[in-house]
Chains A and B, each alone.
Chain A
Amino acid sequence: MNIRAPLIAFLLCALASPSLLAQADADFAKANQEYAQGHFGEAIAGYEALIRAGQWSANIFYDLGNAYFRTGNFGRAILNYERALALEPHHPEATANLQIARDEARALEMQQSWPERYLRFASINQYSIAAAAAFWLGAFCLATLIFARRRSATMIFLAMCCLLALSISVFAIYTLDRGGKGSALAIVTGKDVQARLATADTANSVLALPPGSEIKILSTRGDWIYAALPNNLRGWIPAKNAEQVRL
């Protein structure tokens, strides 16, 4: 009796998933059609419904970015291009359009530290795989060394290389995740946004942030975000005027 409920749930999921996928495909095609006909508002609504349903893919975020670009909302266009690139770092169309949108909006970019710049040739996921591979290869080398009668110099060298690769990968994951373009990256979506010295609209302004500008969220207090800003500044901005790239 106990096994019946999960079995029925599994069967229902197995039966429902193809129809859900077909529905998502139809919604995506409809949104694309709206875009092609110049109905950008309807296209945006269609893409956002798909995203709310969890259908995340680089192409959907890229298409949504294009739709926002056509409506002149550069902040949200840049946000969605960034999301497309977060899912697929080497998405050529998103990279190209992001640059165009940034130029149009005169958006400010976060400065990256030098390790972040050099380590960005691979993604966090690739470093995670490299770290796991180096860890297990190193563990096998150590096991071989422990049980071997004679310590092989090659094995010791290989173990040291694995340790080095593991250290570099972990450092890269930490640097990229905590860096300016890491998990805390957010995009200014509002217009005429001013970063301020305190959590009040009357507080002195630190920096004017054009739509699409990058910020790094450091903490939140009520409706305000304390963020690291481009040009190595820090300030408070209203939470409604920025959205985090990673959902």
Chain B
Amino acid sequence: MYQLTDRPATTGSFAPLYTRPAFWTAQFVPFLALIGFAGWKIGRAKIGNREARRTAALQHEAAELMHKLRRNAAPPGEYYAEASRVVRLKTALASGSGGLDPNVVDAETAADTFKLNSDSRDQLRRLFEQSDEWQYSGAHNGPAKISPENRREVLELIENLK
């Protein structure tokens, strides 16, 4: 029946852990973590909703413009402006959650986004040039009317952007 001669530096307690104030004070750490986690999740959900609304608006606008382009009724200036706008919208949609602004998309960005070959790239560049010409000069060097062949080519180019 030998004695134990080492005495622990800290004193013990008979009170169960759940009755000690330190135990309940320590619960603030996970509580604050939970509040932070919930806040982060709510923030992400809000960002997700905003992104979803933006995507839906872009898709709606692109679908409306495509519908107008297929009707064949628009004058050349309007037609090219709308066609280039559809390309910008499709590029912004294809850029994913990065949130590319459709107004800043140019022919090169669109071609890079859709990884187009050189022919399609040239076509796209021409489309943007024609759109700019009609928009800024109010006139066009070519014919005043767009031939059905040209309209078909533009429509095919836009529809193949995937």
Where the two chains meet, the residues of A that have a C-beta atom closer than 8 Å to any C-beta of B are 21, 24-25, 28-29, 32, 35-36, 54-60, 62-63, 66, 69-70, 83, 86-88, 93, 97, 100, 124-125, 128-129, 131-132, 136, 139-140, 143-144, 147, 173, 177, 183, 245-247
Contacts and interface: CB of A to CB of B under 8 A. Distances in A.
Contacts of B144: none
Interface of B: 1-9, 11-18, 23, 26-27, 30, 34, 37-38, 41-42, 44-45
Given A56-B11, A247-B14, A143 B37 contact: yes
B37 A246 contact: no
B40 to A, nearest CB: 9
A198 to B, nearest CB: 31
Given A55-B11, A136-B30, A177-B16, A29 B5 contact: yes
Contacts of B3: 32, 35-36, 63, 66
A125 B14 contact: no
B5 A88 contact: no
Nearest to B24: A132
B16 A140 contact: no
Given A66-B3, A140-B37, A246 B14 contact: yes
B41 A59 contact: no
B17 A124 contact: yes
Contacts of B26: 132
Most chain A Cβ neighbours within 10 Å, of B2, B7, B15, B44: B7
B42 A147 contact: yes
Contacts of A25: 7
Nearest to A182: B16
B14 A129 contact: no
Contact of B9 (A21, A29, A247): A21
Given A57-B8, A132-B27, A125 B38 contact: no
Nearest to A61: B12
A56 B18 contact: no
Contacts of B45: 147
